[in-house]
Amino acid sequence: MTPLIAKGFGVPVEKATELTDYLTEKLGSKQALGRYRTSTDISNTALFQASDQSSYLICVIISVDGGISSYPESTSDGEILAAAQEFLSQKNKKQ
C-alpha cells in the first residue's frame, strides 16, 4: 500500500505502512501472494520501466497487484475499504 493509496482510503500518509501490515494480517491470506503491495513493489516497477531493461516495451500496462486481477478469491475493494475503516476506528480509539 503506497501512502497515496492509503490516503485514498482516508488513512494518514504516515500510517500507510501500519495499514499495509493490518491489511496483510486481516485479509492477506485471500491474496495470491499472501500480502499486499508495498511502496517498494511500486518503486521497483517504476525503476524497471525507467531502465534500459524495458527498452522494448511500448504501451504496456503492468499491473503491480500481486495477482489480484487474476485470482478469483482475492478481496474486493469493499472488503479492503471496510478493513481500512476498521483500522482507522481502532487507531482513533487508542488516541
Interacting residues of 17 by C-beta distance below 8 A, sequence separation 6+? 1
The 8-class DSSP code of residue 35 comes to S
Alpha-carbon gap, residue 66 to 64, rounded angstroms = 6
pTM of the complete model: 0.61
24 contacts 35 by C-beta, under 8 angstroms: yes
pLDDT of 79 > 70? The answer is: yes
What's the pLDDT score for residue 1?
65
Domain that holds residue 37: 3-94
How many folded domains does the chain comprise?
A: 1
pLDDT of 61 > 90? The answer is: no
For residue 53, the SS3 value is helix
Confidence of residue 55 (pLDDT cuts 50, 70, 90): very high
